[in-house]
Amino acid sequence: MAVSFGVDARRYDQARPGYPDALLTRILAETPVAHVLDVGCGTGIAARQFQAAGCTVLGVEPDVRMADFARARGLRVEVATFEAWQPGNRMFDAVIAGQSWHWVDPVAGATKAAGVLRPGGRLAIFGHVYEPPAEVAEPFAAAYQRVASDSPLSGQPARRPLELYQAGYAKIADQIRETEQFSEPEQWRFDWQQSYTRDQWLELLPTTGGLTALSPDQLAEILDAVGNAIDSLGGSFTMDYTTLATTAARAGTS
């Protein structure tokens, strides 16, 4: 699944939301940042935000289709998994990973991040939690189970509690501690909202894990069910987003 998101890189880039300004502001305020390494940069959604803030960004991305799209938008990208990527003698002020760290070996990844961070440099792992309203989530779950019953994602609850995601980010903090190369990790949280029309949500939904590998017929059946559900709400809904982050500074003075 990790390299399935590039099936339609344009759609992914246009439909997926960016990250809250408050997150970038806090990362840049906590640590003087000029050079950023973006792990699993995808199409460059987070990277472009850091570029706009004045940072120089290098992306590492295993999917050549996503990498090519990011390059076309002005981002320098090297194609590799983070574990296999060769940094040479390059060092960075920040290593970021937006919606991508779950594809990286967590302890090996944190150790590698420490190796390319200057002392005091910051590792920031972040991602969105978004659970649509029950009126949208439940028809989606039922349709997914119907058309993809053999998927390991089939049969999951229609909506999962925020605490489940928070536990995942707490586990990341534990794995960072295991390296003994960072200061005490911090947990950050940013709450925000975004409204979606029927068409906007149906544009985003196929870019999510579990749908990127479905056949056109399977995908169409799911989108029909979700579209009908949104129609019953008047054609739009408001999504409550929470962006979670686990972050820590590289220990040491040299």
Per-residue pLDDT of the chain (254 residues; tens, 9 = 90+): 444 555 679 889 999 999 999 999 999 998 888 999 999 999 999 999 999 999 999 999 999 999 999 999 999 999 999 999 999 999 999 999 999 998 899 889 999 999 999 999 999 999 999 989 999 999 999 999 998 887 767 677 778 899 999 999 999 999 999 999 999 999 999 999 999 999 999 999 998 878 877 889 999 999 999 999 999 999 999 999 999 999 999 998 65
Domain residue ranges of the chain, discontinuous segments joined by +: 5-131+160-193+241-249
Q: Using a cut of 0.85, tell me whether the model's pTM lies above it.
A: yes
Separation CA 169–CA 191 (nearest Å)? 16
CA of residue 109 relative to chain centroid, distance? 16
Cβ distance 114 to 182 under 8 Å?
Answer: yes
Cβ distance 185 to 177 under 8 Å?
Answer: yes
Least Cα distance to 244 among 183, 156, 161 occurs for: 161
Give the helix/strand (H/E) hosting 127. Answer: strand 117-130
Residue range 5-131+160-193+241-249, CATH number: 3.40.50.150
